[in-house]
A = this chain, B = another copy of it.
Amino acid sequence: MTLNKINKNSFTPPFYQLAKILEQKIFSGDFKPGDPLPSETDLGHEYELSRTTVRKCLNILAERGLINAQQGRGTFVTRQSLDRVTFTMEEFNVVMENQGKEPGYKLVFARFIKKLPEFLIKLGMTTDQRILYYCRLLMADNEPIAVEHKYIRHTVGKPVLENELQYKAFAEVIMTHTNNLPIKSRMELTAARTEEFEANLLKVPLGFPVLQLQQTLYTIDDNSPVGVGLFYYRGDQYSLVSDIQPLKGEG
């Protein structure tokens, strides 16, 4: 029996209204974890919507992890879990903008190196080309937030401009100096503590907790990375946040 009906004259589109109705039925226990939802065709009949619209709505719920569709079997309510979470790390200037702070960039040094640090060799980086190594400090309202170490296989003879290294995104710098747009990326986030070098730049004691982010960039058909970044974020100044909430709007 349908208690909630779709208002086709509402500003909120039908597929969204239905998503909220179904979400509500899941939260309230009308549909319990493991239960199958009515078939897409049945839902279409029940709420007087086309199957296409029903599917769009189900996609939303599936993306949010509330339901899970299985071809040939049906669509089932997912076992409740708020322990699964996704964090999004925006670019630094976006984060600063959101926090209303003034981003600052300081190039600490830039040099070519021949001998690679151990962790770069493990990542498959080779020294058949010169390696450009530079280090940057990120600040928020002049407070140091993060130290970045970046390594690039420098295959093009272009001059290295301080300004460029200071302000440009990593992928752009790589593009400039290798003529290759990196299209594969691997990021690994973990916890570490400051060595002396980072501690000084970040103005924190030795051994201070930091988020350590390692970025490895590849071009297609290439097992050797074109660029590697190693970033340290002050644990007391930088964190990742994720919110899970019911669908918004008048229901």
A80 touching B185 in the complex, CB below 8 Å, given contacts A193-B207, A209-B191: no
* Chain B: CB-nearest residue to A216: B243
Kindly state the separation between the CA atoms of A211 and B212 in the bound complex, as whole angstroms: 10
Chain B residues, Cβ within 8 Å of A175: 80
A235 touches B (CB below 8 Å) = yes
Contact A188 B239 (CB under 8 A): yes
* Chain B: CB-nearest residue to A90: B84
A172 touches B (CB below 8 Å) = yes
A87 touching B89 in the complex, CB below 8 Å, given contacts A27-B220, A183-B246: yes
Contact A80 B181 (CB under 8 A): yes
Contact A192 B209 (CB under 8 A): yes
A-B contact pairs, 5 of them (CB 8 A): A27-B181, A27-B183, A81-B171, A84-B90, A193-B209
Binding site for B on A (CB under 8 A): 27, 29, 52, 80-92, 94, 169-172, 175, 181-193, 207, 209-212, 215, 217, 220, 233, 235-236, 238-246
